[in-house]
Amino acid sequence: MARKNKLKFCVIGCGNISLKYFIDALKISDKSDIVVCVDHTDRKRQLVKERFELPLETDFDYTLNNYDFDAVYLATPTGLHKEYAITAAQNGKHILCEKSLASNFTDAEEMINSAKNNAVAIFEGFMYQFHNQNIYVSKLLKKGLIGEVNLVNAWFGFPPRGKDDFRLNKQKGGGGLLDAAAYPLHFARNIFKSEPTKVDANIKTENGIDISGIINLTFSENRNAQLAFSMNTFYKNKYELWGNKGNIRVERAFSVAPEYIPIINLESSKGSEIITLEPDNHFVKEINFFVENCNSTEKQNEWYKEALSQSQLLDSILQKVK
């Protein structure tokens, strides 16, 4: 039963991230509640019922007509986001959408326009930015401990998945750019607080799917980002910031379990320091941020613009693959 005075959610897509982290986070948060799950098949119906005491439906239209909720958490493969998002917007539901928002810029524009026309929020969920380690790094940068950042290095890669993994299916929005590279790209844009003036990419494809690559971004004032992604390598998930007075390295940056103990390596004129922080649940913090701001017109417009900028950059790189 939904609690009073909470933003009520419908979770669409009961994959790994929903089942392992996000449904629990919606329950933990004191600002949200979850009333129903939607998945394209009913094979997880019993699991969802037993683990979370929630109903699972296979038809979103039926769910809209039979359940009372205010927002959707969209966690299907990227290629399926557009249809669900537009339907949700047309029915007045706010949208918290897993990255990447859309398979291409055209789809992203359609989704954003639908949200605008129906006065609902659509937020692309890069939850890493809410984690205490990234907030701590932001404070270090503001203090000027490593000076001006001239170079961002970031990596996100993982071993091969099974042949039936959606990341290998182009129709479902597969490919390493949308899945893995999206994080380092988003991170670099936010560190430099601007869009790149030049984009170079060396992308490896297999069967028409972008599997791995190196992306070089040039920003104003001779600032650069060197980013790597992969879906067929040893696991690597970190970033490094090189300033004119020091260096910061975060050992596990983008995909972080709530129980993980963050480690930050800081090098400056004062010497080297290893900073250990408390574990943090960035899923709950992202939910709280979304709930607190989804009804703000100013925030809605800010989120629309941010999601379109991210999608446009991804699209410019995807064009280099073709």
Other Cβ atoms closer than 10 A to 322: 6
Taking alpha carbons only, the member of 53, 2, 56 closest to residue 32 is 2
Distances in Å between the Cα of 31 and the Cα atoms of 10, 74, 250, 258 are 14, 18, 30, 18
**CATH 3.30.70.20 fits domain 7-127+285-303:** no
User: How large a percentage of the chain has pLDDT more than 90?
Assistant: 90
Q: What is the mean pLDDT of residues 298-322?
A: 93
Q: What is the mean pLDDT of residues 209-238?
A: 96
d(CA 104, CA 147): 36
Q: Is the pLDDT of residue 321 over 90?
A: no
Taking alpha carbons only, the member of 72, 107, 105 closest to residue 91 is 72
Q: Is 192 helix (H, G, I), strand (E, B) or coil?
A: helix
- The answer to whether residues 230 and 158 touch, using CB atoms and an 8 Å cutoff, is yes
- Specify the pLDDT at position 3: 55
- Specify the pLDDT at position 173: 87
List where CATH 3.40.50.720 sits in the chain: 7-127+285-303
Q: Domain spanning 132-279 has what CATH number? A: 3.30.360.10
Residue type, 114: S
pTM: 0.95
Q: Is the pLDDT of residue 320 over 80?
A: no
